[in-house]
Amino acid sequence: MFEQLPTPFSIFLGFFFLILFLFYLSIYLSIYLSIYLSIYLSIYLSIYLSIYLSIYLSIYLSIYLSIYLSVCLSMKLSNKTHSNELNVPFHTITSPPQRSKNN
């Protein structure tokens, strides 16, 4: 027996329903993904950022403050022990030697 070939109308209906299904799927996925991603990302990012920032800032600040305080304390101690050497005004160190005006 001969096989029945699809008619142009059935091909048109097939493409029409395929396009309709893809259009519905794109709208559904865009709405679903926007809602899901907004909720998921807000929760995930808030938790992740709070944990990450708290750990990072605690480590960074502890290292930074320890170095800063040690340098400040060492400079303060060196100022007290070598006060005669550090009491020179800054401009006398950086300025070139001056010629006398009598020459």
Q: What is the pLDDT of residues 43-83, one digit of tens each?
A: 988 999 899 989 998 999 899 989 988 888 888 777 665 55
Residue 102 in any domain: the answer is no
Residue 68 in any domain: the answer is yes
Distances (CA, A) of 15 to 4, 5, 9, 19, 70: 19, 16, 10, 6, 76
Domain of 60 in residue numbering reads as 10-80
Q: Which two tokens stand for residue 2?
A: 């001969």
Residue 85 in any domain: the answer is no
Residue 39 in any domain: the answer is yes
Looking at residues 74-98, what average pLDDT do you find? Answer: 60
Q: Is the pLDDT of residue 23 over 60?
A: yes
Q: Is the pLDDT of residue 92 over 60?
A: no
What is the value of pTM for the model shown?
A: 0.37
Residue 101 in any domain: the answer is no
In this prediction, residue 69 carries a pLDDT of: 87
Residue 52 in any domain: the answer is yes
User: What's the domain count of the chain?
Assistant: 1
Q: Are 86 and 79 in contact (CB under 8 A)?
A: yes
Residue 90 in any domain: the answer is no
